[in-house]
Each structure stands twice: as C-alpha cells, then as structure tokens.
Structure 1
Amino acid sequence: MKSSNKDMSSKRRRLLQCAVGITFSYGARKQMLASAQAPASGTLARVRPGEPGWPSETQWNELSQQVGGALVKVQSPLATCLKSPDSDECRQLFKELKNPYFLGDELGLTQSLGWVDAWISMPSVYAVAARNTNDVVAAVDFARRHNMRLVVKGGGHSYQGTSNAPDSLLIWTRKINGITLQDAFVGEGCEGHTPPVRAVTVGAGALWAHVYDAVTTHAGGYVQGGGCMTVGVAGLIQSGGFGSFSKAYGLAAGSLLEAEVVTADGAVRIANACTNPDLFWGLKGGGGGSLGVVTRLTLRVHELPETFGAVNMTVKAASAPAFHRLIGLIVDFYQQNLLNPHWGEQITLRHDNVLKIAMVFQGLSRGEAQAVWRPFMDTVARTPDDFKVEFSPFKIVATSARDFWAPTMFKRLLGFVSTDDRPGAPKDNVFWSGNRGEAGQVLHGYESAWLPAALLQDDRRQALADTLFAATRQWSVTLHVNKGLAGAPDEAIAAARNTATNPAALDAFALLIAAAEGPPAYPGIQGHEPDTELARWNARAIGHAMDEVRKLVPQPGSYLAESDFFDAQWQRSFWGSNYSRLLAVKDRYDPDGLFFVHHGVGSERWSPDGFTRFG
C-alpha cells in the first residue's frame, strides 16, 4: 500500500469537495429519478468511510497481506488538475485522456469520464488489483464481511458508469489477462455430452485487441468479440456482446463455452452448459457486475473467412426532400442486398442531410463487394443535382482476414489504426482510429432501439424511411446493422436465443442509436468543465428523435451496453421476457445483493447509489 492514510484521506477529500458542488447538481436528473422510484425508507445500509463498521487500518493491512500486496489506495489522476488546472501535469493528462490504453491502465479512471446529469467517474477508496482468482475471492469475502459497496472493473467501458463507485472497494481484473488457445476443449462436467471444439481461454481483464491478435493474426482463427478493440472481454460477454461480424457469427455470449466466476459467498464456480447451467445462462447477457466476478472465459474459435473488408463513403443530399428520398434508397438497398451474414457495422443518417456509410464485410473479395454496391452508386449518380458522393480510391477495401486487426503500415498510413503512443507501450496495443473520440468522453445522451426486420417488408419500408427522416430532423441517427441478428445464420440465432439478451435482438435488422458526447472534461477543473447547457440541449434533441422512432416501434427494446441511463423501463428494455428468470438466478447466487450496478439485475431493490437496500 502506498502513502499514509492521512495524506490519502486529505487528497481524496479535496477531490470530492472540488467535484461535489458541481457533481450533484450535475447529477440532479438522476436524483429526481431516484426520489420518484425509491421506497420511503431503507432496511439495510452499506458502510462508508468514517462510519462505524468501516474496516480498520489493521483489517486493511490483513487484506493487503492476503492478496500479496495487490491492495492499492486509489487516487484519480484528475486530483492534480483539480488543484492545479494550469499545470504542465494537467495539460499532459488531458492529452493522455485521448489514449484508451492510458485510461484502461489507470485504477482511478474509466474510459468515459461521465454523463451529464447522470454520473461522474469517481475513484474507489481501495482497490484489489487482482492477479488471480484467489485475489478476487479475498476481495469478495472482505467486502461481504464488512458490508461494503463493491464494484468490478475490467476494461472500464461502461457508459452507465457501472465500473466505478465512490466510497467502495474495487476489484480490478485488468491484470488477469492470459490468453491460451486449445484445439479440443470440453467443458467441466460435459465429458461425454459435448464434442471437443477449438477454443480460446481468456482472462477476464484481457482486451479484444490482444485476443484478436492471438486468435486471428497468429493462429488463423476467429473469435466473436467486440468492434472496439479496447473493450474488456468479460464485460462484453456479460452484456451479450455485438461485434462487427455478429451478422455472421452471432452474439459474443453465444460463443461462450465456459466461465469461472467468484460468487457472492466467495465460492469459485465453473459455469457451462453442464455445470451450474442457470448461472451460465445468466452470465451470457445478464450484465456485468451483477451475478459475480468473472475471472476466466472460454470461447469458441470459428473458422476464419478468406477476407475481411470495409466500405466507407458519404453522400450529401442537396435538400431535405432529396435526403428523404436518399433514406428511402438506402433502406431499399439494404433490404435487397445487405441483409445477410456478409455485412455489418454502420449506416448513419445525419441531421445535415448526409448519409455516411461505414460498413464492413466478410467472405467477399473487393470486386464482389464493389459489385454489390454498384446499383446503389449508379442510382445516386443519375441525379447529380440532388446527391454528391465523396469518392475515395479506398472507398471499398479488402484484406486477408488474418491481417484485419494487425497494425500494418498500410492501415496506419490511411489512418484506420492508431497505436498506444506511450513510451515502451506493447506493440499490440492498437485501436481503430474511429474510436479515439470515445476516449475520455463525457456523454450528453445515449439511446438505442432495436428495429424489427418486419419493417423492411414491402408494405412497411416507406413508413420506416419516413420515420428515419423525421428522426433526423431532430438529431442524427445510426443504424448498427451488426447489432440486430435478422439475416444471420440459423445456428447464430439459436445460440443467441439461449442467452439472457432481450429476444428483440433476434429478429431485429439493426440497433438504432442516437447519441452525443463532449471531449474529456470534469467538474471543478477550470477550463475543462463539461458544457452542461449544450449537453442538456443535445439530450433533449436525442429524446425528440427517439420519440419519432417510438411512434413506429412503441416498445422497441434496447441494448443494455448502449442505452439510456434514465430508462425507467430498463428491465423490459434490456431483457424483455428474460428478466424474471434472470432475477431468479440473482436470488440464488447473490441473495443479499452484494453485487450492485446501475440498472442491473435486482438493482430496483436498492437506492441509486447502491448503499441502501429497501424492504
């Protein structure tokens, strides 16, 4: 452990005092929502620092010895800026906040710095920087015995703020990051029941960039993970997990073969189709940090296709009526040509009458991909007064699938891939340049809705196009076509059906997202404070856009990892008909609610901060 209690407490108080005044007017909407939902009185309260029952210095030292010195007193690097906003250290910090690997390596930070009127990234008091499962067990047992607020962080990418909580003990799994390939894996207890399959076993703290490097670049296989390479493996799997090629390979959770998890009683359990199958099902999309601490996962390795590729272009419409027609064209084109396992990623419809295509494909050559898009391009070209296409010699590119995630010179020169620029950083610390904007962001608003494939039928496509156009009059919207499983192979849909993910995803052709964010900022840091007025304006505009969508799809369901912090119907939105079954799993493995996250399974029984349980 580092520094004295006195010094640490003083620094922590300064951090909290500087932030609190703005933080919790900044969080006013959250508090209003909480007071409207919470019961009048509590029956159980977790302990906070300085209160009777908070562990003594001797008890903390005992935990430190038990975990081999892996207990750390946490301080946010932002404390320096709160004290000296004009210092060189603060200027350097705000540059580093745009590096997702820097954020992931900092105990006291999260990948997003907050959400205006919702939450702010705040450090725990202590953290166990777990190196193995035994460290996790020790931390879970300690939190349970001392009635502490517990939080779990791997990659730290939660938009809902679930990987941080002030006044808590943090279990940080980032250092549990081993990756092992297996040619013939059979789950524990499944001998004689399931055939051996090619698999990869991954520590909970591993990041997808490193898993792709091991499985695809070096071993020529494919594992279904996330599109963003710096997302943690365990968090994505427990969210359900969509990646760029989910239209071909399904949910990341659908490829989960086995997990090792530490439950609230401190037991280390194996969860697979044969052993603890109810817990296994719950971990596949039930949300991270709710059922236990996952320490290890084994995932199916699929056959790698010959090629991966990308299509990038923008089309600018000359007027609103022309843009309305362009939306109809892309909706028709998608239904006729792209609703199949080859295609994924995003079609953005912008408020300024711009259509942006940022899609990927698998199993097609560059020539085949060009042939797919030629009819659309020809249609657009026939009316040059209405549409202007931004051409590029690299509008449609393809590469060997084995090289897709490798940081080749070609991709670096074109700006597709960025690297961790810290001195001595590992060479495999790479990320898509397009994700840089998310590093250190402060969210203004974020809502999503699954759009059923029935909207693509001949008699409904015009209504869909009309709705999308109406939404863009309020805010830009993006169709994430890889995050709806309509058009996927039957086996991928069957595997997804056997997860806790909202069944609405199974017959959706896309997840529509409307969102806004600002650059790295933090309340109380002069010159780096969030623009709350702009954020609230943007949030209202997003809400108006989603109101248009809900006219067409009244209760659409929402992806829990990319959703509205303030969704009052979150149980239905995130899990639909699966919620009651998930709650039963929660009650079996965590009956006292040790594991709490915002809008997680069973969280309706607690105050919004997770400190008070209601009767």
Structure 2
Amino acid sequence: MKRRDLLKAAVTLPLLPLLMRSSAALARGAGTLATILRPRPGQPGWPAATEWAQLKRQVGGRLLKLEPPFAQGDASLALKQLGNPFAVGDNPALTQTSGWADAWASQPSAWAVAAENTADVVAAIDFARKHHLRLVVKGGGHSYQGTSDAPDSLLVWTRHMNQVALHDAFVPQGCAGHMTPQAAVSVQAGAMWIDAYDAVTTRGGRYVQGGGCTTVGVAGLVQSGGFGSFSKRWGTAASNLLEAEVVTADGKVRIANARTNPELFWGLKGGGGGSLGVVTRLTLRTFELPEFFGGVNLTVKADSDAAYRALIAEAVSFYQRALFNPHWGEQMKFYGGDTLEISMSIQGLTQGQVEQTWAPFLDWVHARKDCHVTRPFQALVAPARYLWDAEFLRKHLPGAIVPDDRPGAPRHHMLWAGDHDQVGWFIHAYQSAWLPASLLEPGRQAQLVQALIAASQHWGFALHFNKGLAGAPADTIARARDTATHPQVLDAFALLICANGGPPAYPGLPGAKPDLAKARHEAAAIDQAMDTIRAVAPNAGSYVSESDYFLRDWQQGFWGGNYPRLAAAKRRYDPDGLFFVHHGVGSEDWSADGFTRLRA
C-alpha cells in the first residue's frame, strides 16, 4: 500500500461508524441529510408500492404510471399525436419541445398526479415533500428550458384543471375598500390561452392580455412574465394578475394578492414558473375590446450590401417615426444579409389608417431600383371579437389556422399556422436580448443599423416589438414595474430573438436522429450574431421563457436587480427547495438535475 493510501485509511477508519450512520439515515429518507439527495426509482428512500397505492386512493385514482411514449405498443399512437399540439398536451409523457442540443431531452416522469382540483395538488406536494422526491409541474408543457418534465420525478399535471369564469366586478380577497371592483377572468392552472380567449373575447366581448401561441398554458406564461401581440398596449400577463391561488411547499393553499401574501404575489408575477409553488387558479384583469385587430405583412429583398444597409436604415427610422406606439406589435425579421420580412400586429386602427401609416415606407421601397418586394404588402383589419373565433376563421381565413382535428375536440381549439412548425421541435440554439429605446434616438440609429446588418451576416433574427414596453402607455408601464420581470423591459423597444431548431427528436422516436453537428454549427453562428448585438446593448437581459439554456449569469440576465427579492421569497415559501427548475430562483443551491443539494 502506498503512503498516500495509508494516510487516507488512517483518517477514514475512525469516521466509519459516523459515515455508516449517515448512510443509513439517508437510505431511510430521514434526518438532515435527507434533503441533500433525492431518491430515484430502485434506490433507498424511493416510496414503496403500498405508498404509491395510498397516494392513488387519496387522489381518487388519478395517479398515472408513465412510460416512454414511443415504447413498444405505444409508438403508433404517439406518432399520430406529433402533428397536433393539443394531442401532445393531452399526453402527460410528452412535452411541446422534444429537447435541446447538448442540453436536455424530453423524458417522462416516473409517476404523475392528473390533478382535477386543488386537493389533488396538495396531496402530490405533501407526498413529494414526505419522500423528498424530485417534483415537476406541467400545464401547457411549452418550456424551452425543459422544465416541464424530468425523469425519475413525480409530475403534478394540471391539464384537466381548465375552467374559465368571467367576473363583472372582481375584488381580490382581503382587498375590499382598498381596490375598485373591476372586470376580470379566473382561469384554472391547466387552461390554455385559446380557452381564455374564447371565453373572454369571442364570447365575452372583452380582452385579456395573454400569449400569442394559443396552446401555451395560462399559468406558465403569467409566472414567466407573459408577452402577447398587444403587450405594447396592455402590458404583460404578469402585470395584469389580480390574484392567485397557490399551493406552497408546506402543502398549504394560499391566496396571493396585493394585500395577502404580497411577496409571494409579486414573485409569481414574472419570477418564473415552478419555483415558488403550484398555482391552481389565477384571476386576471380584462379590458375593453378595441374596435379592430389586424396585421401587416411585407417582404423586401435588397440587391446589394449598400441597398440592404439603406433598407434597414429606413426600416429602423420608419419604426421610430410611425410605429413606436401602442398600436403596433410583433416582428421585423432580418435574414440572409439581404432580406427584411415584416409581420406586424395592429390594434385600434382602421384599414384606412393602417394603409396611410405605411404609405411613406412603401413609397420609399418602390422608388428604389435596388430593393424588390418579394411578398406584396398586405394589411388585414377585422372586428376585434373575431381574432380567436375559430368558426369565423374557418370560414374566412382557413389557411391561417390549424384546428384540433381529433373527433370530439372543442371547436374553438385552433393553433396559428405560423406556430405549427414548433410542435415537438428540437432546439439547436435560442437567445434573446432586450434592446434599449435609446438605440432609436437619431444619434444612435446608425450604430443600431450597423449591428443589425453585421448580425444578419451570421444568422437571421427578429425584433419582437411587443416584447419591449417602451412606447407603452404610462399605466401599462406602472403595472409592469410592479412585477418581478427584468426591469430592462420597461425601457426596451423590442426583444431581439435569434434561434433555430430541427424536427422532433424525442428519445425513442422511430427515425429520429438529431443532427448534433449541424446544431452546434448553428449555435456557434447564433453566438456570433448575438455577440454583435450585445456590443451595442451591453448587459442586455433576456426573457426567461425565450432564452439561452446555457446562460451563465442567469440571475442577472433574467431578473436583474429583482433577483435578491425573489431569492428572499424563495427562502420564505420554499426553504428546503422542494420546487426546482433549471435556472429557476434558488436553483443555484442544487445540482443541474435537481437531485443533489449543494448547499443549504
């Protein structure tokens, strides 16, 4: 035996009895060390079959043993579901994103509680806390970061909690005399935004600020901030939260609003889903519906580098002059080093006003011989109540939607055709950055234009104007300021998103083989593009729902100066870290998979 081994043995032998006692305590799932390591199936501490059976009785039989969705015998059914995001969401073993290159792959939990009421959620949380299990929460299952699933975990699946109720005069609990009654909508945690839009707008004639993709879960979007096409007018979903019912790590059902559990309430407004508790119901303010919603489409291609520079300079100037206001949202896309694609949303303007607004830009384009319209200008304005009316869209714009075509599916369940390619997609890279409104000032526009042109040489990207609140009304800014979302959003004119992905690559999917070499090449190009952008927007924060999985300083990147306050709320409501998600509040205390606690 070498000298070093002898020394090690001499030090270790006196400690053996203590180590054996500690290991026994850990194996029993008891004592202080029990919080350090979560058990996996087959390991000491994993609940016995009788304990799972007891949980199943407690939740009325709604405990599901999950298996890989493409296992023998199940593959054909799962394959049929992949083109339908509603069907994907109805499968507790699937997520809407199949994975991310070199980051994560969609894998089902070991067990799932298919919650139908708050009591089911309480039972699942109590069981996970008692047995120190890795816990996952899924409603819509759209998390790009892979937070909607985790192998060897217990899933709280809220899909069946999807009721929506309208209120004419809602006052949060404990707020009578302090808040004016207002129109609102209460939505259970498993509802999708199409459920909310159908109830509030199509049938109710009002507006609720939600997300653009109709199959996204209401609860997840609100907790992550929540931008939609018209956020430049009505703010984020988080900023319009009036009250939430949430089950915290101690198994208690709490009401959170401006006066009851106010720090929990603030943290739920943009602090990220799955970190502070399981939301079971949210109540959001609703607004008077404008007369019209609509959209504008146009694509222009430049013949040379000089022409492209002129085109981008004019587009930036035109946005600042004519579109930098609450009427306009959505995107300008820059790709190929020569192409500008415009796809923008409209609220509160007539067809004539829209055409009048765009006339100067179109005149500029048509006057140039080195810029060519490859997709003609199209402006479409319609009564706002029809925007999510599936029957109206089936009749007048059938190509714009993809309906849930399963027998017996709700008639209002439809997806925008432009979002269909994201169903099951495998992410190669995804980054975002909020761009400050100061870049639109005349003296800095040339700097912004140069950065946009240089970045587009590496990879295409889009400016999402609705995901920056600069230019919004004062009341919208004030509500957003009172949320946990990164403060930079208040002074950003847009969120720049640079990303790409490939076809579904679920583990075990027949024929699926992600091209990792291609993914890494694209990720490197996107890194270069974003480096160019960040040179003119140093320390730009990212939108937590649409961001880089590998972001290093994620606390600052997602929440900026709000993070210490969020961390304090985490310590108060979840001191033992029952709730864990990748790059979620408090996740720095755990290993990357959430199974090993690194520090108390």
How far the C-alpha of 1:210 sits from its partner, in A, is 1.0
How far the C-alpha of 1:524 sits from its partner, in A, is 4.9
1:164-190 alpha-carbon deviations (Å, 9 max, x no partner): 000000000111111000101000110
How far the C-alpha of 1:98 sits from its partner, in A, is 2.2
Indicate which of 496, 500, 503 corresponds to 2:480: 496
Q: How does 1:514-529 map to 2 (within 5 A)?
A: 514-525=498-509, 527-529=511-513
Q: Matches of 2:283 and 2:188 in 1, distance apart?
A: 9
1:58-89 alpha-carbon deviations (Å, 9 max, x no partner): 10010000000110001232224xx8xxxxx7
Secondary structure, counterpart of 1:312 in structure 2: strand
Q: Matches of 1:197 and 1:573 in 2, distance apart?
A: 35
Quote the residue 2:380 is aligned against.
397
Secondary structure, counterpart of 1:299 in structure 2: strand
How far the C-alpha of 1:102 sits from its partner, in A, is 1.0
- Give the counterpart letter for 2:44 in structure 1: P
Quote the residue 1:186 is aligned against.
171
Q: Evaluate the alpha carbon distance shift between residue 301 and residue 434 of structure 1 in structure 2; reply closer, same or farther with a 3 A threshold.
A: same
Q: How does 1:218-237 map to 2 (within 5 A)?
A: 218-237=203-222
Q: How does 1:311-330 map to 2 (within 5 A)?
A: 311-330=296-315
Indicate which of 116, 130, 137 corresponds to 1:145: 130
How far the C-alpha of 1:340 sits from its partner, in A, is 0.3
Q: Matches of 1:42 and 1:131 in 2, distance apart?
A: 30
Quote the residue 1:598 is aligned against.
582
Q: Matches of 2:255 and 2:302 in 1, distance apart?
A: 55
Q: Matches of 1:537 and 1:524 in 2, distance apart?
A: 24
Indicate which of 336, 347, 354 corresponds to 1:351: 336
Q: Matches of 1:412 and 1:99 in 2, distance apart?
A: 22
Q: Is the 8 A contact 1:451 1:512 kept in 2?
A: yes
How far the C-alpha of 1:473 sits from its partner, in A, is 0.3
Quote the residue 1:456 is aligned against.
440
Q: How does 1:196-275 map to 2 (within 5 A)?
A: 196-275=181-260
Q: Evaluate the alpha carbon distance shift between residue 208 and residue 525 of structure 1 in structure 2; reply closer, same or farther with a 3 A threshold.
A: closer
- Give the counterpart letter for 1:573 in structure 2: G
Q: Is the 8 A contact 1:522 1:529 kept in 2?
A: no
Quote the residue 1:12 is aligned against.
none
Secondary structure, counterpart of 1:372 in structure 2: helix
Quote the residue 1:68 is aligned against.
60
Gaps of 5+ in 1: 1-40, 84-88
- Give the counterpart letter for 2:585 in structure 1: V
% same residue = 59
Q: Matches of 1:134 and 1:361 in 2, distance apart?
A: 42
Quote the residue 1:134 is aligned against.
119
TM-score (norm 1): 0.90
Quote the residue 1:15 is aligned against.
none
Indicate which of 412, 428, 431 corresponds to 2:415: 431
Quote the residue 1:57 is aligned against.
49
Quote the residue 2:88 is aligned against.
103
Question: Does the alignment pair 1:286 with 2:271?
Answer: yes
Quote the residue 1:28 is aligned against.
none
Indicate which of 328, 331, 342 corresponds to 2:316: 331
Question: Does the alignment pair 1:384 with 2:384?
Answer: no
Moved more, 525-534 or 144-153: 525-534
Q: Evaluate the alpha carbon distance shift between residue 101 and residue 355 of structure 1 in structure 2; reply closer, same or farther with a 3 A threshold.
A: same
Q: Is the 8 A contact 1:323 1:354 kept in 2?
A: yes
Q: Is the 8 A contact 1:114 1:442 kept in 2?
A: yes
1:440-499 alpha-carbon deviations (Å, 9 max, x no partner): 100000000000000000100010000000000000010000000000000011000000
Q: Matches of 1:52 and 1:220 in 2, distance apart?
A: 56
Q: Is the 8 A contact 1:523 1:530 kept in 2?
A: no
1:505-564 alpha-carbon deviations (Å, 9 max, x no partner): 000000000000101123454521111111111111110100101111111000000000
Q: Matches of 1:543 and 1:107 in 2, distance apart?
A: 34
TM-score (norm 2): 0.92
How far the C-alpha of 1:416 sits from its partner, in A, is 1.2
Indicate which of 544, 553, 560 corresponds to 1:576: 560
How far the C-alpha of 1:93 sits from its partner, in A, is 3.8
Q: Is the 8 A contact 2:81 2:87 kept in 1?
A: yes
Q: Matches of 1:114 and 1:586 in 2, distance apart?
A: 27
Gaps of 5+ in 2: 1-32
Q: Matches of 1:409 and 1:495 in 2, distance apart?
A: 33
RMSD: 1.5
- Give the counterpart letter for 1:284 in structure 2: K
Quote the residue 1:78 is aligned against.
70
- Give the counterpart letter for 1:45 in structure 2: L
Q: Matches of 2:506 and 2:412 in 1, distance apart?
A: 30
Q: Evaluate the alpha carbon distance shift between residue 511 and residue 494 of structure 1 in structure 2; reply closer, same or farther with a 3 A threshold.
A: same
Question: Does the alignment pair 1:543 with 2:535?
Answer: no
Q: Matches of 1:520 and 1:52 in 2, distance apart?
A: 35
Q: Matches of 1:537 and 1:575 in 2, distance apart?
A: 29
Secondary structure, counterpart of 1:415 in structure 2: helix
Quote the residue 2:491 is aligned against.
507
How many pairs are equivalent?
566
How far the C-alpha of 1:43 sits from its partner, in A, is 7.4
Q: Matches of 2:573 and 2:393 in 1, distance apart?
A: 49
Q: Is the 8 A contact 2:35 2:132 kept in 1?
A: no
Secondary structure, counterpart of 2:300 in structure 1: strand
How far the C-alpha of 1:423 sits from its partner, in A, is 2.1
Q: Matches of 1:57 and 1:92 in 2, distance apart?
A: 28
- Give the counterpart letter for 1:492 in structure 2: T
How far the C-alpha of 1:410 sits from its partner, in A, is 5.9
Quote the residue 1:24 is aligned against.
none
Q: Matches of 1:93 and 1:434 in 2, distance apart?
A: 23
1:36-77 alpha-carbon deviations (Å, 9 max, x no partner): xxxxx9971011111111101110010000000110001232
Quote the residue 1:124 is aligned against.
109
